[in-house]
Each structure stands twice: as structure tokens, then as C-alpha cells.
Amino acid sequence: MAPLRLKALHPLTGAIAGLSVGAVMTILLPGGLGTALGLLASGAGVMVAMRTFERRSLARHEQALAGLGEVKVRLATNAIRLDALSQRVEQMPMRDVDAAPARAAIHELTAEVGLLGDLIHQVATTLADHEAVLARLPEPAAAAPALPATAIPEVVLDPEAARRARAEQQAAERAAAAKAAQEAAEAERAALIGRALSEGRLEVHLQPIVSLPQRRTQGYEALARLRLDENTLLLPHEFLDTVEARGFGPTLDALVLTRALAIARHLASKDGGIFVSCNFSAATWGSSRALAALTRILDKYREHTGHLVIEMPQTVFRNLDPTSLGLLGAMSANGVRFALDHLVDLRLDPRALFDRGMRFIKAPATLLRDHAEGKVVSDIAAGDLAVMLGRASITLVAEHVEDNPLAADMIELGVTMGQGQAFSPPRPVKPEVFAEPEAAPAPSPAVSALPATRPAAANDVARPIAAAEPPSAPAAAPPDSRPERLPFRSVLRRASA
């Protein structure tokens, strides 16, 4: 008969034996002594069972750790063997075609060994986490409240989930780094734009506004360009958002207005009543203080405001406060004309617009075409819109006319002015236009006796980028001198205008 091993018994054996001895003592011994001894025997049996459970779990834990260590050692040994086998394959005199399958198999085995090593490491880490959690748990005799279930971290033995979590964390880190880099780039760009505005590096390009169907120049729109450096020229859509977000709108509008007034002064020296229009930012229209500053600039150059037109978006005009409307009236009293642009609909009151100083309505050509085709709902026919505005002394201007067919459509609708690439692209203004005019010398009797010169035609001022004409010939020159010969390029430009 084989000897009985206590370690081979089930852990509940001690508890059962203690309960049995306690029951026997309670039955055999009379009185309270039997009951007390029975309870002590039962408690001793339960304690023995618990200790047996604890020792067995510790033994299994140590056995699992020892097994993990042995597996890791074997994996390391197999990795070393695979490395040696790979070196042998590399040293064997085989062709690449024959050695390729062996190399592929070795690489696959190496990857599998690495994956198994990662799994073993994860299992060991999980066991260590369990030990740390169990060490933080209070002892049963301390009578402390049990930890909630959420305090114990959930351990998931899923390598794919761990890989996804790492990928999501890396993606979040990359997104945060990209956002920080973008914010830094925007801050640097805003600093460059602010420096360019403070140094006055604003350039103005002019796009003609022509009469239809003659296509003779009636005015120009001043379009702002910002020069960051010698090779970088920003268009409005590239810097306006930054300008308005950083509060540079009033500075930009003051520069644009000053440039427009200089061009208006140049146009005033010519006949024909040609005007120049400019735009203000939304921040300026929403600030009565900024409008008051621009009004002071207009008061300073009051003699040139007759050739100036200020454009205002339709949405801005509808949301002006009483103070801004009062400043608008002050500008109109000084001779400034206004144009309503960026139309979102054709709900117009010509008489009210005229009373507010509006003399032009700039509507997109596509909006007018859609109106004619019935795509835009309106109370007036498309062909009667220009006539209705004309009765209130307001001129309808079709802007963004990109091709000749669209220009022909505008002529059929009775539009009297047009602007767009179909007529001319924006062109820069020469610096001579912004120079202060020199004082004209007193005319000599010989010069005053000469006949009056021909009035300048519209084509002569179609490009205000031209420098001022040189002074007339001295008085000693004979009156019957030969006329000045014009370059062929000037003649060709006039013929094609």
C-alpha cells in the first residue's frame, strides 16, 4: 500500500475534517464546552483549508513563472540557432534563386519567434500587474471596505488590441505635433503679414471697369496685393483671413484708401470723369472708430474724392448700425460715391440705396445670368433690372465677366458696365502715380498763345500706370515743328483697346 501524501489531498479536506471533529465534539461533550470546542475545531479546519489554498496558488504561480522563464530561455536559444542557420545559408555556395526560399523560411521563423517572445513578455507583465494589485489589497482581518470593481484594472491578453492601442496613441501624438507645427507656421505667417503692413509694403493692381458694348474704360477697381519679400506677393484670399483675425484690418484699409486717393488724384488731372473704387474689410465696417479714422483721411483729400468710389458688401450694408450709417452719410456729403457689391440676392430698393449714397450696383455676371434663366426668384424681370436702377441714377455693373459669351449675355440684359477677365486682368500701378505732383511753372506768353490741346480720351487713361507726360517744348521752339512720333507699340495698344 502506497504511503499517503498530505500534499496530494484536496484543499477542502482540512475544512471537512475540522467541521466533522467540531460536530462530534458538540454532540459528545455536554453543555457549552462541547459547543465551544466544536466551533474552534471547525474554525481550525477552515483556516487549514485557506492556508492550503494559498500555498497551492503560490506554488502554481511560482511554477508558471518558472515555466515562462524556461520558455523565454528556449526562445532565445532558438533565436540564436536561427541566426546561426541564417549565417550558414548565407555562406553556402548557392544561387540567389535557390537560396531565396530558405531565406524566406528563416525570416518567417525569426518573425514567429519574435512574436512568441512578445507574447511571453506580455504574459509576464500581466502576472506582475496582478501581483501588484493583490499586494495593494487590504488584509481580510483589517475590516477595511472592499475596493470597487472599477479600481482593479482590466487585463486583456489580446496582442492585436494592444497593437491597435499603440497605433492610436502614435496617431494622436502625430496629430498633436502637426497641429502645433501648423499653429507655429500660422503665427510666423501672421508676423510676416503684420511686418509687411507696418512697413507699408502694399501694392495696388487696377482692373478696368468698361462700358458696354463699347468697352471703353470708365473706371478701375483697386485690388490689394501684399509684398512679403522680393519673390512673394500675396493675393487677397491669402492674407485677408489672417488680417481680420489678427486685427490688422484698419491698417490695411488705411493703406488701400491712401493708395486709391493717390490714383484718384492722378485721374483728376485727366478729362473723362474716370473713377477708382476700393474695398474695406468687414472689421472696419463693423467698427465706427475705424470708419471715423478713414473719414478723417477723406476730409484731408476732399478735392480728390469726386473720383473715388467705395465698395460695400450687401450683407454689411444691411447690418450697419446707426453710428456707421451716420459716418456713411458724412462720407457721401464730402462727395464720396458708394457701390454695393457681393450681392447675395436681388431684393433691391433703388430709391433707398440712392439716398444712402449708392451710385453703383456690382452684381456677379453668373447671378444675372441665372436670374435671366429663371434660376433666381425675383420680383422684377432680368431685362428690367438695369432700367429700374437707371431711373434712380444707379448704374448696374456686371463683375466677374470671364469670357466673351458671358459679356454678350450681359449686353442683352441691358447692363451698361462690365468688369472681368474678358476685358482685362488686373495690372500693377507704377510708383510714379503715387509720387507727389510737382508745382507747375508759370506759363510763358509764347506757350499761352499756343492753341489748346486735344482733351484726353478714355483710352489715354485706361492704364494709369503710365508716368506723367514730359513738359512741353520750350517757348523758343518754332510753332511749326514736326509732331512727336509715337512708338508702334502705343499705336497698336490704342488700336486694340
Task: Tell me the pLDDT tens digit for each residue of 7-27.
Answer: 556 666 766 776 677 777 777
Rounded to 5°, angle at Cα 432 from 426 and 434:
80
Rounded to whole angstroms, the Cα distance separating 413 from 372 reads: 8
Q: Which of 405, 404, 386 is nearest to 396 (CA)?
A: 386
Q: Which of 251, 293, 273, 255 is nearest to 335 (CA)?
A: 273
- Name the CATH code of domain 200-436 (choices 3.40.109.10, 3.90.550.10, 3.40.50.2300, 3.20.20.450): 3.20.20.450
Rounded to whole angstroms, the Cα distance separating 179 from 306 reads: 49
Point out which residues pair with 428 in neighbouring strands: 205
More confident residue, 155 or 121: 121
Q: Which of 312, 308, 309 is nearest to 340 (CA)?
A: 312
Rounded to whole angstroms, the Cα distance separating 102 from 104 reads: 5
Backbone phi and psi for residue 307, each to the nearest 5 degrees, phi listed first: -105, 20
What local confidence, expressed as pLDDT, does residue 374 receive? Answer: 83
SS3 223: strand
User: For residue 177, is pLDDT > 80?
Assistant: yes
Point out which residues pair with 277 in neighbouring strands: 221, 309
Cell of 439: 508745382
User: For residue 135, is pLDDT > 60?
Assistant: yes
Rounded to whole angstroms, the Cα distance separating 214 from 462 reads: 14
User: For residue 139, is pLDDT > 50?
Assistant: yes
User: For residue 479, is pLDDT > 50?
Assistant: no
Mean pLDDT across 260-283: 87
- Parallel, antiparallel, or unpaired for β 275-279 and 358-364? unpaired
Cell of 32: 457549552
What local confidence, expressed as pLDDT, does residue 438 receive? Answer: 57
Average pLDDT taken over every residue of the chain: 77
Rounded to whole angstroms, the Cα distance separating 340 from 392 reads: 14
What local confidence, expressed as pLDDT, does residue 38 receive? Answer: 72
**Helices marked H in 92-228:** 96-136, 159-198
Instruction: Please answer whether residues 86 and 106 qualify as being in contact, where contact means their C-beta atoms are separated by less than 8 angstroms.
Output: yes
Rounded to whole angstroms, the Cα distance separating 375 from 386 reads: 18
**Please, which pLDDT band fits residue 134 given cuts at 50, 70 and 90?**
low
User: For residue 326, is pLDDT > 80?
Assistant: yes
For the whole model, what pTM was predicted?
Answer: 0.55
What local confidence, expressed as pLDDT, does residue 455 receive? Answer: 36
What local confidence, expressed as pLDDT, does residue 14 receive? Answer: 64
- Parallel, antiparallel, or unpaired for β 427-428 and 202-211? antiparallel
470: Cβ contacts below 8 Å, ≥ 6 apart:
none
Mean pLDDT across 314-318: 91
Backbone phi and psi for residue 399, each to the nearest 5 degrees, phi listed first: -105, 165
More confident residue, 288 or 136: 288
Least confident window among 82-86, 202-206, 359-363, 418-422: 82-86
More confident residue, 282 or 489: 282
